[in-house]
Structure 1
Amino acid sequence: MGKRAVAAAFARDDSADFAEVATRYRPQIFRFLLASLRDPDAAETLTQDCLLKAHRNWASFRGESSVMTWLLRIAINLQKDHWRSRRLQFWKLTATNSVDAQDASQWLPSGESSPEQQVMAKDQVRLVWKVVKGLSDRQRTVFLLRHVEEMEIHEIASTIGLSEGTVKAHLSRAMVRVRAELGGKR
């Protein structure tokens, strides 16, 4: 009997103890979230949220995928929500702590760049575009969609018809090359 058949039978068995599922898969979910978030507290919280959500929806699990795949999908969705929430919190905090531009102009030094800084910035941008131009077509496309269009990995994958893993690989290679050409500077 294959994994899916076992999962489907397990899911259909109303007497199946969800605690067994939680005990069995919790370490893998936590490891995934910890690797993704690099924050043990957030990973622990999202692991608990994942298992709670799975428990609430256990009766509706259809067994079309393995239990682990189903749990990871829940974890990935929670992770995306977490990142969206963090970005939103950043902008809320920024808006709350922002200073009116009119007030700031009276006590801040001029925000204009010196001629030297402007030349250095233009040279840096020119170098980045030169490196990007030398990337492979896929790497360049992924790089531009991510950093110019500010698209999420899943959006890029959907847009250009590649898997998310392939998009991440191309983006990683592009970033390594750009950083190497810039001398390791961002």
Structure 2
Amino acid sequence: MPEQKTIKRAQADKRAGKASSTQAGEFVKDEVDKVRAGKHGVRSAKQAIAIGLSEARRAGVAVKSPKKGATSEATRKNAEKDTAAGQHKSTAKKSASSESTAKRSRAATNALKREGSAGASKKALSKQTRSAAAKRPAASRSAAAKKAAATKGAAGRSAAAKKAAHTRASRTHH
């Protein structure tokens, strides 16, 4: 269950007109923080991201399901179920199998508690990000960078340029 402050941050992102992936990022960040805090573990960075996206969909964030062939059919079905669950807020009426749902939820939580926290390390997340970016075409990455630069603002661009210059300088000394 995502924390209330995470939902509030995602709603603020939506009001600010930010992309659904940015809104979902709040849930992914929350999940990574939970793993780092030791509340439960994950096998990989991909799993932490998947849990975060699932929670985002269930909270009503309009994250698209993966395309056919991109992931397994089961993963796509689960994503669609999560999206459907997020579209309509449940009323007082509970499903007949709430006992089995609770058992399943508890079993999933207990399974996650047995996993390690290395999947949410900076190194693991960096590796996942790089491999995901490498799968995208150069034009797509370039467009994303251009959009980021355009929405950054003058002060942001200046700070980024200073940081880049500092990084370049530090790398030439080694």
Assess same fold via TM > 0.5: no
Which structure dedicates a bigger proportion of its chain to helix?
Answer: 1
Q: Provide TM-score, normalisation by structure 2.
A: 0.25
Give the structure with higher Rg (CA): 1
Greater RCO (CA < 8 Å, at least 6 residues apart): 2
